[in-house]
Structure 1
């Protein structure tokens, strides 16, 4: 290893869980962030590009000829010339390449343990493989755009590059699952990754688990047009701006009621029910009057005293200098170009309390003599399981969306995931306006799990839990900071009884810092991280439009699982477990990395050149029909004029359906996407051709429902099983008998004492 190689991160890799993993990255542009996730966790990542450097070094937002996007996407990588590929691939573990640029069959034959991730906008999909995407196009075709905006108004493109950023995380997760399977079986895999798939799965999946305020109503049942959801997580004016509240649970409402001075108008116990509060015409105006004379900080401080979840709506500059972000040093000064320094996110995963952040500078121009860093012999544990995580034992304390996703992703790949819960503190996503024993969105988000009803606060219940922990591999949670510690379940205590245990926690603001114990929901995180302020119609101060969005919950859940898999890989060679922590606010801010850096550079007096594409949402023929069109350059403008016969694009689109317009523009290689509603996704040809969705049934739901299928199209990764999501305590007896060997008499005693809870069908209770 040369001194130059050491300077590019080699000296740091041994301290990170993916140390020794070797990855070749042939992708340029925003999907380069797939490999950045690996390099931050310690992998040796070599980017292959032409001698003069790939075009992405000079595109997008640039300062002094250097692309800011390139730097933020490729920190910690090295770069080699194309002639080094054949030498490097002989000892590589993973190759990420644009679809069609390498001979996949030949490589898989020569190196059967290799994992190859083929990346393209629409995958190797018969009628769509040549289509071209963009972030806004993916928003349109994923169903996200149809839910963004205010009722009766045009759909509003979400800010930034959220679709692409979330898609990259999905690709990193899926490829790491395949790599784990290669370690277990000795056989690699070829993965056909579509950016549209990744955006549909990881940003705000229309057929995924939804927030508790939706009360179990699936997004596919939303009315036509932008749905009215501002009442769910209301934003209210105060003396110096806006604040958002999330008053969901009865105890939160009681805190709000007390805080307001117990007004007689709202004293009826019926206000304990979420839907009654939502239906009230006078409640939100009364709260607004109560906040009118208070500053944002006063609202936050008083809300905390009364147990009311609330957050100031901050702009991005304010979000970057909050006490929490500063205390956690979430951003680090980084060289963007010679003599130009700007803040960039210092990673979004903590392992054992250490931030897995920037592992080195962006790569210099490719070198002809790049070689892999030395690595210790890899310990490969062979497993005969039929799925990647067969035999993995997981205790899932997670709640709402982030909590559901982490356990579901592991369960879908074969892990035995036991959801530990209690009727005294039920998972908010179990509540439902839909009649029946289970909410449809809960059935989607918790498939393939089992449920154990257990009172963890009772000494006998805690003893049972500790016995389960001794034989488990992973614990998942997403409580606010300090919750597990208050139960004596902090990582150090758990490690003492099970040195191999892996504990993952995801919280709103992270496990340290002055906000670590703040109650946080996704809408509050969006407000605090500066995203809500950006999600408005131009020039309209109070047109906040992110209320229906469930972000960053799904993508944060995937990032947590990436950390878990990385620690499982480390455990193979060290035998020890570890702790994964993810801050949802930092995940969100990481998706604004280039914007943050660019604004800092401009404040320092440097000019930014920007040749980024422009995207517009156009109305089409029909009721509330829209099409997104992205123009990348002057050549696209000429092509569009040819397609429209010289008519202005807006006039041409107004006479055509969104589908016809999209197809005509895509046939001319112009990125375009019709705005699809969630209900339309399963019948859209693209999703049908990829078998993206499937129909599921649940014994306690009257109607079949639609769920996502596999996390990626692959040669060897199988579709998830279809075991129904559990009712609370449905598997209690089964679990304690199987895992703890309890006799029936002991189980009966524990049920009688309400230390264990077991679901009993209502008709059985009547007997």
Structure 2
């Protein structure tokens, strides 16, 4: 396998000892932690894991791990695992409740035997609640997690997203929750049980209805459509000479540049078209003008001219074109790798680089029958933080200077703030965060309130020499700096990792962008829709039954993916660097690209494309590896459910539950795939006479993965989400009414839920922060405010 050039003991999680008992998508949690240096021992039953049936997926989810076999159905095997757990720091498991009870390997038993152990349970719906025993896969989670209801053409069948998009977030959420719990263990000596629900991870993590903005924010409106949203105008796609391009006109300056490129047509000269809603309303007149301009030019020509004019524009690439892209080769995002004996493919390497070297693929997944030994001694680790007070979040005592902007930046900083870190949101009134600009004349809106909760606000002009010096002084007293500007911006301000490390060797600097700091695309404008277009997701997230030349066939316009998941993945790497610093005494430079997060999600798809060039394209609701499977109409207006039969046993259960005819030729998957259309037509007749709830109840009771399509407003009343307290109420004095908000990343046995302190107004805490961090006196602060270096609100809000 192609190496990364970094030694295992140089990675931030070197010395972290993990037992991995997971299956399926949950396996990606330990894979990411292994990328970052953890010693992961993958335990499989004799003969190997069930997930090995997906050879490519297993290889990618289990790279960089060691392997061992244990028969947990025997007393000796269970006892051996229990003893081995005493050598580990974290144990990851995805047993169903019934399976854990039957084995006698419950989280409670692990915790009683080893009170210092962090046990992370990753299950489909969580360890508690009325859906505890339900089963799911990616497609079922897309239906019940609020993704399906906004995917597809209006008036048509809802469209499942490409494989990998939904499953990815489960592993990333679990990795973050595991490290949060581990930090708490390091500070208290006491272990933790972390209950990760894949359902809640999808609801809160793919593109949340009640989170930083995107079209998903329609979930807070009572008028959320019963049909798919008409998302074609959100991030419009236009045909060109050799394919399609996507346009993202968000800022006023971008529209005005496009207006000039069009030749300044008189009917769009009115300043009201500076606003996005006015352009949406006039799309039927505006888009034909743009289409005519683009029609005779190639994608590369249009993207180049768009960049020269400051217009966000991206080519819609196929998986084959992604694999051939020079950018991903140069950055190391895609590498040639040996996935197993006789299986070599081009695949994503990993999420991030650490100190300039990719933290990704190093060794293949373990072969069946592995006989891995136990673990070495844990290194001495002192996080250098004060004693953790009662009720404090695990990251209390960490100070974060947050320069992040828009959705990605907001998510990254919020994760640290929610766990108790002092996160200082640094802003300049001359360049306000785009999330603040979603309501004219206001400094607050639900999107900003959701994304920036629990942070403090500092108004500072970083472009002035005085402001830059103040920032360096703050960095000297801080732990982490977060930014997601265009590549090179931090260095131009004098805040590169090397420069900040000169004043604080323990500083961790996370510098993120759309396409990373290297490669020919590094200066491309970075919005999620353009990242999706350039990474093959848009090409795969389209209706295969539609005219290939019809731009409306692309159905990914109603999401800001991968902003949220990329923010979470970067947070994992930054917290890993905090843990690694306890061993080395040094900080780190973390570089992440949203594009890399998108590529990781498509790993198995890209691997297959590299093995069979020209054959991999959008599969829509027809899943190549299972039958019957897909989206089925139910009784009622625009009512749908997803059913996904992966195994022969599930097929027998489906037949028994629905009364479909028994046929021995269909007992094995190949036979069912051959007669897919016939089987799925019969199943569709059965679902059409029943409500989605009835279909779900009958099939789940039989052990068949199925779920009703859940619309975003209905998340607030879903019985499982209510039972597990997945939402809380967020209040802000600048909002007209309270809004629902996600309650937590996972359910912890002792880690407290996040506080819900209001997001800061611009410069709200400037005076207090400057006094605390810099020791500035009141008159000195006044002078800096007068000079415009510091910024404070016109009216000081009440103490909060």
Return the TM-score normalized by structure 2. Answer: 0.89
SS in 2 for 1:116: strand
Distance in 1 between residues matched to 2:635 and 2:614, nearest whole Å: 47
* Offset of residue 373 of structure 1: 4.5
Per mean C-alpha deviation after superposition, the further-off stretch among 118-127 and 347-356 is: 118-127
* Offset of residue 761 of structure 1: 5.0
Query: Residue 284 in 1 paired to residue 318 in 2?
Result: no
1:394–1:415 contact (8 Å) kept in structure 2: yes
Query: Residue 575 in 1 paired to residue 585 in 2?
Result: yes
Distance in 1 between residues matched to 2:492 and 2:218, nearest whole Å: 30
Query: Residue 665 in 1 paired to residue 671 in 2?
Result: no
Structure 1: segments with no counterpart, 5+ residues: 1-5, 61-66
Per mean C-alpha deviation after superposition, the further-off stretch among 7-16 and 116-125 is: 7-16
Question: What's 2:238 paired with?
Answer: 236
Question: What's 2:737 paired with?
Answer: 703
* Offset of residue 611 of structure 1: 4.6
SS in 2 for 1:579: strand
- 1:269-348 to 2 correspondence within 5 Å? 269-281=271-283, 282-348=285-351
Question: What's 2:556 paired with?
Answer: 546
- 1:217-616 to 2 correspondence within 5 Å? 218=220, 222-281=224-283, 282-368=285-371, 370-373=373-376, 376-379=379-382, 383-385=387-389, 386-433=392-439, 437-540=443-546, 541=548, 542=550, 543-603=553-613, 611-612=625-626, 614-616=628-630
* Offset of residue 498 of structure 1: 1.2
Question: What's 2:773 paired with?
Answer: 739
Question: What's 1:199 paired with?
Answer: 202
Distance in 1 between residues matched to 2:217 and 2:262, nearest whole Å: 26
Q: 1:151 aligns with which of 131, 140, 154?
A: 154
Distance in 2 between residues matched to 1:717 and 1:219, nearest whole Å: 33
Query: Residue 719 in 1 paired to residue 753 in 2?
Result: yes
Distance in 2 between residues matched to 1:76 and 1:546, nearest whole Å: 32
Distance in 1 between residues matched to 2:344 and 2:331, nearest whole Å: 20
Question: What's 1:64 paired with?
Answer: none
SS in 2 for 1:31: helix
* Offset of residue 238 of structure 1: 1.4
SS in 1 for 2:612: helix
1:641–1:649 contact (8 Å) kept in structure 2: no
Question: What's 1:103 paired with?
Answer: 106
- Are the structure 2 counterparts of residues 216 and 503 from structure 1 closer, same or farther at C-alpha, using a change threshold of 3 Å? farther
2:210–2:219 contact (8 Å) kept in structure 1: no
Question: What's 2:793 paired with?
Answer: 759
1:216–1:429 contact (8 Å) kept in structure 2: no
List per-residue Cα deviations over 1:652-672 (Å, max 9, x = no partner). 221222112211111111111
SS in 1 for 2:698: helix
Distance in 2 between residues matched to 1:308 and 1:126, nearest whole Å: 48
Distance in 1 between residues matched to 2:303 and 2:765, nearest whole Å: 41
Q: 2:63 aligns with which of 44, 63, 75?
A: 75
Distance in 2 between residues matched to 1:353 and 1:180, nearest whole Å: 25
Distance in 1 between residues matched to 2:796 and 2:302, nearest whole Å: 44
- Are the structure 2 counterparts of residues 10 and 130 from structure 1 closer, same or farther at C-alpha, using a change threshold of 3 Å? farther
List per-residue Cα deviations over 1:676-718 (Å, max 9, x = no partner). 1110001000101111111121111111110000110110121
1:217–1:439 contact (8 Å) kept in structure 2: no
SS in 1 for 2:253: helix
Per mean C-alpha deviation after superposition, the further-off stretch among 408-417 and 382-391 is: 382-391
Question: What's 1:629 paired with?
Answer: 643
1:710–1:718 contact (8 Å) kept in structure 2: no
Question: What's 1:676 paired with?
Answer: 710
Question: What's 2:666 paired with?
Answer: none
List per-residue Cα deviations over 1:398-431 (Å, max 9, x = no partner). 1111100010000000011111112211111112
1:475–1:503 contact (8 Å) kept in structure 2: yes
Distance in 2 between residues matched to 1:539 and 1:68, nearest whole Å: 27
Query: Residue 35 in 1 paired to residue 49 in 2?
Result: no
- Are the structure 2 counterparts of residues 85 and 232 from structure 1 closer, same or farther at C-alpha, using a change threshold of 3 Å? same
Per mean C-alpha deviation after superposition, the further-off stretch among 678-687 and 457-466 is: 457-466
Question: What's 2:654 paired with?
Answer: 640
Question: What's 2:121 paired with?
Answer: 118
SS in 2 for 1:431: helix
- Are the structure 2 counterparts of residues 9 and 525 from structure 1 closer, same or farther at C-alpha, using a change threshold of 3 Å? closer
Per mean C-alpha deviation after superposition, the further-off stretch among 380-389 and 30-39 is: 380-389
- Are the structure 2 counterparts of residues 567 and 716 from structure 1 closer, same or farther at C-alpha, using a change threshold of 3 Å? same
- Are the structure 2 counterparts of residues 156 and 761 from structure 1 closer, same or farther at C-alpha, using a change threshold of 3 Å? farther
- Are the structure 2 counterparts of residues 730 and 229 from structure 1 closer, same or farther at C-alpha, using a change threshold of 3 Å? farther
List per-residue Cα deviations over 1:66-123 (Å, max 9, x = no partner). x111111111111112245244222100001123252322322232221001121111
* Offset of residue 545 of structure 1: 0.7
SS in 1 for 2:336: strand
Q: 2:686 aligns with which of 634, 643, 652?
A: 652
List per-residue Cα deviations over 1:601-641 (Å, max 9, x = no partner). 33599xxx975465211111111111111112344333323
* Offset of residue 499 of structure 1: 1.0
Per mean C-alpha deviation after superposition, the further-off stretch among 108-117 and 280-289 is: 280-289
Distance in 2 between residues matched to 1:434 and 1:116, nearest whole Å: 47
Question: What's 2:677 paired with?
Answer: none
Per mean C-alpha deviation after superposition, the further-off stretch among 435-444 and 388-397 is: 435-444
- Are the structure 2 counterparts of residues 397 and 8 from structure 1 closer, same or farther at C-alpha, using a change threshold of 3 Å? closer
> Superposition RMSD on alpha carbons, in Å?
2.6
1:24–1:95 contact (8 Å) kept in structure 2: yes
Query: Residue 85 in 1 paired to residue 81 in 2?
Result: yes
Distance in 1 between residues matched to 2:274 and 2:540, nearest whole Å: 33
Question: What's 2:44 paired with?
Answer: 49
Distance in 2 between residues matched to 1:726 and 1:705, nearest whole Å: 16
SS in 1 for 2:559: coil
2:220–2:713 contact (8 Å) kept in structure 1: no
Question: What's 2:728 paired with?
Answer: 694
Distance in 1 between residues matched to 2:540 and 2:172, nearest whole Å: 22
List per-residue Cα deviations over 1:320-365 (Å, max 9, x = no partner). 2222112112222222332331122211111011100112111022
* Offset of residue 229 of structure 1: 2.3
- Are the structure 2 counterparts of residues 532 and 189 from structure 1 closer, same or farther at C-alpha, using a change threshold of 3 Å? same
Return the TM-score normalized by structure 1. Answer: 0.93
- Are the structure 2 counterparts of residues 602 and 275 from structure 1 closer, same or farther at C-alpha, using a change threshold of 3 Å? closer
SS in 1 for 2:502: helix
Per mean C-alpha deviation after superposition, the further-off stretch among 656-665 and 637-646 is: 637-646
Q: Give the length in aligned residue pairs.
A: 749
